[in-house]
């Protein structure tokens, strides 16, 4: 059973978290089910970047992003090579270490 290790995020998950996952689960839904209130402004339809995460470990176990996700990621705040939209990332067999960026495009406007 893969584990999702969520690195500490001052607003959403100050102490970090370890979540048991089942392969095939949607990463965004999994975070929400475990009280990590990651933004998902487009209701997980791959139409925004508010659920952007950086997969620090286990990135290669995820199915590759598609063109639509890549186009959205180009607009994400703090984009990194291991960036994914959590609404499009499906957990595979490997553990994942997930870093939720401090800001999203929405957050950057609200918090100066």
Quick: pLDDT tens for 24-68.
999 999 999 999 999 999 999 999 999 999 999 999 999 999 999
pTM: predicted TM-score of the whole model, two decimal places: 0.91
* Cα torsion through 6, 104, 24, 32, rounded to 10: 70
To the nearest whole number, what is the mean pLDDT of the chain?
Answer: 92
Q: Is the pLDDT of residue 110 over 70?
A: no
User: Considering the domain boundaries, does residue 86 fall inside one?
Assistant: yes
| Stretch 8-36: mean pLDDT | 97
Q: Which domain holds residue 15?
A: 3-93
Residue 15 sits in a domain of what CATH number?
3.10.20.30
Q: What is the pLDDT of residue 14?
A: 96
Spatial contact of 5 and 96, defined as CB atoms under 8 Å apart:
yes
User: Considering the domain boundaries, does residue 40 fall inside one?
Assistant: yes
User: Considering the domain boundaries, does residue 25 fall inside one?
Assistant: yes
Q: Which residue has the tokens 């997930």?
A: 98
Q: What's the sign of the alpha-carbon dihedral 60, 61, 65, 69?
A: negative
Query: How many domains would you assign to the chain?
Result: 1
User: Considering the domain boundaries, does residue 22 fall inside one?
Assistant: yes
Question: Taking Cα atoms as reference points, which of 27, 24, 84 lies closest to residue 101?
Answer: 84
């Amino acid at each position: 059973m893969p584990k999702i290790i969520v690195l500490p995020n001052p607003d959403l998950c100050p102490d970090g978290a370890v979540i048991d996952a089942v392969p095939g689960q949607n990463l965004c839904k999994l975070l929400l089910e475990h009280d990590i209130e990651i933004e998902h402004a487009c209701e997980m339809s791959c139409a925004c970047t508010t659920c952007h995460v950086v997969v620090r470990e286990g990135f290669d176990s995820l199915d590759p992003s598609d063109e639509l996700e890549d186009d959205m990621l180009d607009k994400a705040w703090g984009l990194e090579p291991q960036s994914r939209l959590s609404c499009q990332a499906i957990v595979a067999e490997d553990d994942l270490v997930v870093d939720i960026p401090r800001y999203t495009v929405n957050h950057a406007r609200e918090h100066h």
